[in-house]
Amino acid sequence: MKKIIIALVMGIGAFPSIAANSIKVTVNGMVCAFCAQGIEKRISKMGATKDVFVDLKKKTVAVEAKDGQTLDSKAISAEIVDAGYDVVKIEPVSQSVAEIRAELKGRK
């Protein structure tokens, strides 16, 4: 388990600013709609954030950058951890949040 956490932390550190338009974050610890809403509010307040979608069942947070801006994966991870949740994985994606939302909602 220690090795996984260390690898994850090193991976996040290697991408302080992801140049992709959006990122998907896998989060453990979200158990209710209030949890999802809290994460969505925190991430929405960040300057580079255009849109946020939280899928409680899939444990996924999708974040899209404003035009001409990049997302800071370290800052997003810190917001989620500060809210009391565990970040399992962060990955850059080329999809918009609307596309991710449609994809995740379509796979119930």
CATH of the domain at 78: 3.30.70.100
For residue 76, which of 88, 59, 63, 66 has the smallest C-alpha distance? 63
Q: Quote the mean pLDDT of the chain.
A: 85
Q: What is the pTM assigned to this prediction?
A: 0.78
Residue 94 domain boundaries: 2-106
**pLDDT of 15 strictly over 60:** no
How many structural domains comprise the chain? Answer: 1
The whole-angstrom separation of Cα 28 and Cα 56 is 10
The whole-angstrom separation of Cα 59 and Cα 45 is 20
What pLDDT sits at residue 3?
A: 44
CB 85 within 8 Å of CB 35? yes
